[in-house]
Chains A and B, each alone.
Chain A
Amino acid sequence: MNFAAILPEIILTVGALVLMMVAAFLGRRASALCSWSAVALLLGATVALIGEPQNAGALFGGLIAADGFGAFGKLVVYLSAAVAIIMAQSWFERDFEHAAEYPVLILLAVVGMSVMVSATNLMSLYVGLELNSLASYVLAAYRRTDERSAEAGLKYFVLGSLASGILLYGISLLYGFTGTTQFEGVAAAFARDGATSVGLLFGLVFTLAGMAFKISAVPFHMWTPDVYEGAPTPVTAFFASAPKVAAVLLVVRLSLDALGPAIDGWRQIMTFAALASIFLGAIAAYGQNNIKRLLAYSSINNVGFALIGLVAGGVAGASSVLFYMTVYVVMTLGAFLCVQRMKSEAGEPVEGIDSLAGLSQTRPGLAAAFAIFMFSLAGIPPLFGFWPKLMVFNAAVAEGLYPLAVAGIIGTVIGAFYYLKIIKAMYMDAPGEPYAKSGSGLETAFIALAAIAVSPLGYLLIGPLGHLTNNAAGSLF
């Protein structure tokens, strides 16, 4: 038993359980304590990612693997979860509900994600996914007195359970036809029987369909706008960042590892999911006036681009997906931090895009940061959001998938339209009612940091970040 290799998970699990007790006994008074302890635990777990044990390879009879890929995923997940916890503090400040359980739930979800990104067995995959999902359902409904939040939680739960069912059905088929739940074994069976076996093919389709729900890829995206809109903003920010990264990484490992020999089988499924997500995400966002719904469609759109890298496959493809998701997380967290600043004088959150009118004159700094995130999400150079898009297209071109690359890049033009809509509201419309001055200095620092990271200065990160993602992707093969 190599416990050093799962030290991050141990830290988080024990920490979460202790904090749950603290929250239960101290109640509301413990909210600040719990939040900062959770942040400290996440940072501790991040530090624990450094070192040799994280390359230990297969653990616990091949249930999970400690490798570069998993470590990279955990790094991104831990840091974005920490930001989501810090964001929530000012959000729940004025709420009568106390916030002490919030960081505990996030920690539990993070443990689930840790298992997801390192799972090499269909069972551990499912357990990790469910641990993450269950915590997420509760988080979506966290403002239980708010109807929209409760609705979001319920919707997420019902649809999520359905997807889990589909996934389990797929897993059972794979198990039934291969006789193993190990990724290696499944891969061996695919290599032996190929995609000619109807049972295997069905198993593959159902498993990927269940996964598509978790990464909110079209056609399993329906829950996303409703849940993103209804959930409290910090929770939405969390959903759009850490779980998304973990799920996408899980899909990458599953597709390239367990289903690697069946690449021709899933390539067309993923191609469809990628293009449909890009186009639907871009077109459906057109009519939205709620900023959170719009960002939900933006996240659907972005997952589509990440999937292009997956379709390309290989080290270059996997590396481009990791790169894409990392930059995406920075942009999306930055955007949600800005959204959280949208509060009326009374302190009520405002979500209409109209309310952004003239923000560049009332709050120039906030508007500039928001504009940077929007242009970056749209992938317009010279902002850094352009580079990950370039990388996934590069991976596709290197595989000779020209139609996919061309279709995807046309999607960026359509998508650019709705990002421009936000910029137009902020910069070209006459100022409306100003927002209340709010938010902590730490959040402002995060916004500034994220804006600098996706500004042209971000190009300096290409070298180091590319090195990390290449190493991580290399450990898959």
Chain B
Amino acid sequence: MTGIPTLSFLVLFPLVAGIIALFLSANGARWLALLTTLISLALGIALWAAYDPNGAQWQFVEHYGIGGGIAWAMGIDGIALMLIMLTLFLMPICIGASWRAIEKRVPEYMAAFLLMQSLMIGVFCAQDLLLFYIFFEGGLIPMYLIIGIWGGAERIKASYKFFLYTLAGSVLMLIAMLAMIFTSGTSSIPDLMAYDFAPSLQWWLWLAFFASFAVKMPMWPVHTWLPDAHVQAPTAGSVILAGVLLKMGGYGFIRFSLPMFPEASAQFVPFVFVLSGIAVVVTSLIALVQHDMKKLIAYSSVAHMAFVTFGLFAFNRQGIEGALIVMLSHGLVSGALFLCVGVIYDRLHTREIARYGGLSDNMPMYALLFMLFTMASVGLPGTSGFVGEFLSLVGTYEVSSWAAIVATTGIILGAAYMLYLYWRICYGTQRNADAAAMKDLSVRELWLLAPIAAGVLWMGVYPESFLRPMRADVGRLLERVERAKPQGDAHFTAGKPAPTQAHSTTEAH
């Protein structure tokens, strides 16, 4: 549009900064990383401002051929824009969260995070199928290192599990991509979104893509890598994992599965709903009995992500918009919750819930913010969680009332485990002297949590700001899947007119 390759810059700038960071001192690397992420964020805001919600579907398009069937093709629509904003918003917070918590091998750590940022932005910008795959898979390397080097006691196992699990899920997608390119003769994502594959082929392609996105999402029963990865990862790693990496699964469904294979998607709706329904109930119940704070939030992530799949496969506007808002909201809220855990973990070095208690006495500020994020996770009206979950449930109800009923139990169970967590940590009596002696939030920590709190409230009160750039794209998606839309069990039917009253008939005569 402007002729300046903004998206390429957003992808390459952190990469270059990351390489430079390797050669700096610990403090130099910290400042460089912070500056880089802040500049990227500023650029992202400029991108949002320049994005025209009523304009072309793909904006800021760039295309450079490399040869051999792959091109450096970039471009974003509203959905990608919002996810890029989420990434750029969380990155400086991650760097800030690691400011004191990471003391060993800081330059490498910051380089890994900047590389991660570069790859994540790349995933959302890529307009070439193979380029997308490269960014999508490339993210494994820095995350593997982040978990494996700076993680907790069981970090090695968790890092292997993360890497191999997600790799195993993704490789079949590559074969499906090659089959798509071979069948359609193009690797351009916008072209493929308009290409009609034969329904029999769609079926296989959908399954291959599903394997990848379901693991990434993660959906039950392939979610088991997530609790391990979250528990072992350093705080900032968990934030980025929950905040952005999980969104790649949902993004994949929106970008690939639904528009490219609408018939197959419709065919698999019951399958997806059953898995999501189990996820909501089972992982919520598991979350209820956790003793480890991070594990609890990790399981809650799986349950929340099920709302995304419910909404997406509802094939209607409410459902898809709801799913998108759940994705954005969960990115903020679960990120913030992991930060909250990080705050007290940094002080006491344990994630055991029973070691805390009564923190509202000595850490009132912390308790207040933690309360806000707990409520947002529960889905209290006025917070971002409510908007997304409500829309997603409305959409689901139109397709299957049973699915909606099961999904709604997730909200109740969600309230149960989150409030139970909050109660055990912030209320009650102070059992442990060391926990009672902890200081309230430092200025740095406040600066990390406050922006997210503002974002959560903004999205809860005025979601229109976030929905507006995506509206046209959701409309296009709906147009595309309209022909395959499954028959729902809830319909608006015009009621029969009431029988004319008895006395009126007599009057006629």
Contact = CB atoms under 8 A, between A and B. Distances in A.
Interface of A: 360-361, 364, 375, 380-382, 386-387, 390-391, 393-394, 397-398, 402, 405-406, 409-410, 412-413, 416-417, 420, 424, 427-428, 459-460, 462-463, 466-467
B164 A416 contact: yes
B74 to A, nearest CB: 15
A420 B174 contact: no
Nearest to A360: B108
Given A397-B179, A424-B156, A428-B156, A375 B141 contact: yes
A413 B168 contact: yes
B119 to A, nearest CB: 7
Given A381-B134, A405-B178, A463 B140 contact: no
B436 interface: no
A409 B167 CA distance: 10
B172 A406 contact: yes
A462 B167 contact: no
Interface in B442-462: none
A24 B179 CA distance: 59
Contacts of B22: 364
Nearest to B115: A382
A427 B160 CA distance: 13
A402 B179 contact: yes
Nearest to B147: A428
B412 interface: no
17 contacts: A381-B135, A382-B134, A382-B137, A390-B178, A391-B68, A393-B178, A394-B181, A397-B175, A405-B175, A409-B171, A413-B164, A413-B168, A420-B144, A420-B160, A424-B156, A424-B159, A467-B67
B145 interface: yes
A233 to B, nearest CB: 27
Interface in B134-168: 134-135, 137-138, 140-141, 144-145, 148-149, 155-156, 159-160, 163-164, 167-168
Interface string B110-152: 0000000001000000000010011101101100110011000
Contact of B171 (A413, A427, A466): A413
Given A364-B22, A381-B133, A428-B148, 7 more contacts: A393-B178, A402-B179, A409-B172, A417-B164, A420-B164, A462-B67, A466-B68
Contacts of B156: 424, 428
A345 to B, nearest CB: 24
- Chain A interface main SS type: helix
Given A427-B149, A428-B148, A463-B66, A402 B167 contact: no
B45 to A, nearest CB: 27
A455 to B, nearest CB: 11
What interface size band does chain B fall in? 35 or more
B182 interface: yes
Contacts of A393: 174-175, 178
Contacts of B168: 410, 413
Contacts of A460: 66
A364 B149 CA distance: 14
Nearest to B180: A397
B127 to A, nearest CB: 16
A382 B138 contact: yes
B394 to A, nearest CB: 39
A382 B167 CA distance: 13
Contacts of A364: 22
Nearest to B104: A361
A462 B70 contact: yes
A409 B174 contact: yes
B105 interface: yes
Contacts of A394: 69, 178, 181-182
B178 to A, nearest CB: 4
B175 A406 contact: yes
B140 A428 contact: no
Given A382-B119, A382-B138, A413 B175 contact: no
Nearest to A323: B68
Contact of B167 (A397, A416, A466): A416
Contact of A427 (B69, B119, B133, B148): B148
B163 to A, nearest CB: 6
A165 to B, nearest CB: 40
Nearest to A429: B156
Contact of A390 (B130, B140, B149): B130
Contacts of A463: 66-68
Interface string B88-122: 00000000000000000100100000000001000
A432 to B, nearest CB: 16
B357 to A, nearest CB: 35
Contacts of B160: 417, 420, 424
A417 B156 CA distance: 12
A382 B141 CA distance: 9
A172 to B, nearest CB: 41
Contacts of A420: 144, 160, 163-164
Nearest to B72: A459
A364 B137 CA distance: 24
A394 B137 CA distance: 18
A412 B148 CA distance: 21
A360 B69 CA distance: 36
A424 B156 CA distance: 8
Nearest to A412: B171
Interface centre among B22, B67, B172 (most CB of A within 10 A): B67
Contacts of A467: 67
A109 B24 CA distance: 47
Contacts of B69: 394
B70 A397 contact: no
B167 A380 contact: yes
Given A382-B135, A428-B149, A416 B163 contact: yes
Contacts of A427: 145, 148-149
Given A393-B174, A393-B178, A409-B174, A462 B66 contact: yes
Contacts of A360: 108
Contacts of B167: 380, 412-413, 416
A397 B68 contact: no
Contacts of B145: 427
Contact of A380 (B70, B105, B137, B175): B137
Contacts of A397: 175, 178-179, 182
A375 B133 CA distance: 16
A361 B104 CA distance: 11
Nearest to A389: B174
Given A393-B175, A397-B178, A361 B67 contact: no
A155 B452 CA distance: 66
Contacts of A361: 105
Interface in B173-208: 174-175, 178-179, 181-182
A186 B70 CA distance: 39
A380 B172 contact: no
Given A409-B171, A428-B156, A459 B70 contact: yes
Contacts of A380: 137-138, 140-141, 167
Interface in B298-334: none
Nearest to A391: B68
Contacts of B182: 394, 397-398
A409 B174 CA distance: 9
Q: Top 10 A-B pairs ranked by shortest CB distance?
A: A463-B67, A462-B68, A381-B134, A382-B138, A397-B178, A409-B171, A466-B68, A428-B148, A413-B168, A381-B137
Given A413-B164, A413-B167, A416-B163, A402 B175 contact: yes
A412 B137 CA distance: 13
Contacts of B175: 393, 397, 402, 405-406, 409
Nearest to B183: A397
B110 to A, nearest CB: 14
B137 A428 contact: no
A390 B174 contact: yes
Nearest to B105: A361
B70 to A, nearest CB: 7
Contacts of A462: 66-68, 70
Nearest to A375: B141
